[in-house]
Structure 1
Amino acid sequence: MNRDRIDDILHQWQQEAPDLDVSALSVVGRVLRIARLLEKHRETVLADYGLNVWSFDVLATLRRQGAPYQLKPTDLYELLMLSSGAMTNRIDRLEQEGVVVRLRDPHDRRSVSVQLTNKGIDLMDKVMPVLFAKEKQLLEHFTQSETQTFVQLLRTFLISLNRSIS
């Protein structure tokens, strides 16, 4: 059996504190490590387009809404699990880059929507196929059946976490 860094950490804990139950680390530690590695991979791909993970997340969230590719800032920060201040900062930066624009509601001047610009749409339409193809390559080591099982297990874990933590 191949060993990974988490196996080494588990072994160290077993040596240091044999009565400590670290069994959850075998899953949680790997999920966290995988998340960091995937984020690093994503950052590398996105850098070629002048993006990072957070900017991609905002733009992709708007792009997948369909025309006219817009949401209210509150909807954006809820979907992305951010604070309103963090969302405002991100929208400001993306607006400066010309990939989003804030639109005032003509019927309610207090209401604002964030919309992808044509530049933002074009950027996302270039980035998404490249990013998703490179991410698909990362799964080539798994059979279709393994991938489906993996997806089911991850979905179950995510739903369970959302219930426990939310």
Structure 2
Amino acid sequence: MEIPHPMDHVARLQADWRRERPDVDVSPQGVIGRLHRLAARLTEELHVVYDRHGLGEGEFDVLCALRRAGEPYERASGELAAHTMVTTGAMTKRIDRLERAGLVTRRRSDADQRSRIVGLTESGRDLIDRAFTDHMRNERRLLDLLTPTEAEALETLLASWLSRMDNPSGDA
């Protein structure tokens, strides 16, 4: 059963496609199209905070990964790439920018001289603590557009869907 939605952008696209291609089920656009548009809008809203703190999204992610590591706020470069889901090449560029800004340092690993350890500087920690607090306040503002019940239901649905996408075979 299809739930009626206000005639938003996605509903207009669906109506056009139903008219032009009545042989194709366009109902998935109702969810996927809206999620895609919502993701773009959320990204815009999140970037406001990153910009306010002079960071790109990738730099924010790196600083967060280091801060979450706990004292002494260090991770190996490869580990950082895994924690932020980017290639090691992209990670190197992010670390270079952060190092030039005085927010991180790089040193050789004691265990493996080929490996580099990246650590937060004091100014890097101060910046990410301020930026993260601001980021969470911004995310709260965005999530408060839903009722607590809606937010909880949405989180459950998204977690379930993502789990199935990440593990389509159902194996743990």
TM-score, length of structure 1 as denominator length: 0.91
Of 81, 88, 106, the match for 1:102: 106
Aligned to 2:62: 58
Letter in structure 2 aligned against 1:153: L
Runs of 4+ in 1 over 4 A off after TM superposition: none
Partner of 1:130: 134
CA contact (8 A) 1:72 1:114 kept: yes
Cα distance in 2 between the residues matched to 1:146 and 1:36: 20
Q: Would the alpha carbon gap of residues 138 and 107 (structure 1) be closer, same or farther in structure 2, given more than 3 Å must change?
A: closer
Q: Secondary structure at the match of 1:63?
A: helix
Within-5 A mapping of 1:144-163 = 144-163=148-167
Say whether 1:73 aligns with 2:80: no
8 Å CA contact 1:77, 1:84 repeated in 2 = yes
TM-score, scaled to structure 2: 0.88
Where 1:108 maps in the other structure, the secondary structure is coil
Aligned to 2:87: 83
* Partner residue, 2:44: 40
- Offset at residue 32 of structure 1 (A): 1.5
Structure of greater relative contact order (alpha carbons < 8 Å, 6+ residues apart): 2
User: Percent same amino acid at aligned positions?
Assistant: 37
Deviation, 1:110, is 1.0
Provide the C-alpha distance between the structure 2 equivalents of 1:155 and 1:52, rounded to a whole number of angstroms.
26
Number of the residue aligned with 2:25? 21
Are residue 5 (structure 1) and residue 9 (structure 2) matched?
yes
Task: Report Cα offsets for 1:60-100 as digits up to 9, x if no partner.
Answer: 11111211112112122122221111111111111111111
| In 2, Cα distance between equivalents of 1:93 and 1:134 | 25
Once residues 66 and 99 of structure 1 are traced to their aligned partners in structure 2, the CA distance between those partners, rounded to angstroms, is 16
Letter of the 1:19 partner, please give it. D
Describe the SS at the equivalent of 2:114: strand
Q: Secondary structure at the match of 1:13?
A: helix
Tell me the number of residue pairs that the alignment of Structure 1 and Structure 2 aligns. Answer: 165
Once residues 22 and 100 of structure 1 are traced to their aligned partners in structure 2, the CA distance between those partners, rounded to angstroms, is: 48
Offset at residue 9 of structure 1 (A): 1.5
Query: Following the alignment from structure 1 to structure 2, what is the Cα–Cα distance between the partners of residues 34 and 47?
Result: 20
